């Protein structure tokens, strides 16, 4: 059973945003996009009660993905966050205060990797 979600994709690379948006919409999800961290925070805060998952690039020009999630979690402490990067990921790099409900997606990723991760977040295995 697939559950649909409202997801915000925050990434400073237009191509990545566009591809992620297409994949997610094809899966039936509602998608918002933001080209930088500050815009992502503003869009999130405008719809804080409706957004289910945040997908955020770790390395952006204005704010890091971790800074964005730290700010977003002030409004919704438990929102799942998917951080994405083309660089190697070290779980120890995640600030302790935002360490819960964080998932990593290595760039470049396949459509199936993104959709499977989204479904695993929406329908946790018991």
Q: Residue 72's closest CA among 5, 8, 4, 6?
A: 8
pTM comes to 0.93
49 located within any domain: yes
Give domain status of residue 25, yes or no. yes
**Which domain CATH number covers 84?**
3.40.50.2300
Q: What is the mean pLDDT of the chain?
A: 93
**What is the extent of the structural domain holding 23?**
6-122
Q: How many domains is the chain built from?
A: 1
pLDDT band at 1 (very low <50, low <70, confident <90, very high): low
Q: Is residue 29 part of a domain?
A: yes
At 94 the pLDDT is 82
As a whole number, mean pLDDT of residues 32-48 equals 98
45 in a structural domain: yes
Query: Does some domain include residue 1?
Result: no
Task: Determine the Cα–Cα distance for residues 120 and 82; give it in Å rounded to an integer.
Answer: 12
Q: Is residue 54 part of a domain?
A: yes
Tens digit of each residue's pLDDT (9 = 90 or more) over 71-109: 999 999 999 999 999 988 777 778 777 778 999 999 999
Q: Are 75 and 49 in contact (CB under 8 A)?
A: no
């Amino acid at each position: 059973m697939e559950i649909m979600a409202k997801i915000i994709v925050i990434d400073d690379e237009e191509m990545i945003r566009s591809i992620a948006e297409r994949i997610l919409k094809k899966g039936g999800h509602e998608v918002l996009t933001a080209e930088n961290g500050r815009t992502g925070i503003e869009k999130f805060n405008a719809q804080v009660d409706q957004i289910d998952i945040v997908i955020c690039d770790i390395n952006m020009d204005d704010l890091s993905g971790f800074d964005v999630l730290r700010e977003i979690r002030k409004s919704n402490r438990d929102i799942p966050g998917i951080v994405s990067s083309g660089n190697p990921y070290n779980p120890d790099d995640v600030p302790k205060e935002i360490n819960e409900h964080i998932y990593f997606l290595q760039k470049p990723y396949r459509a199936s990797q993104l959709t499977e991760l989204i479904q695993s977040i929406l329908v946790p295995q018991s």
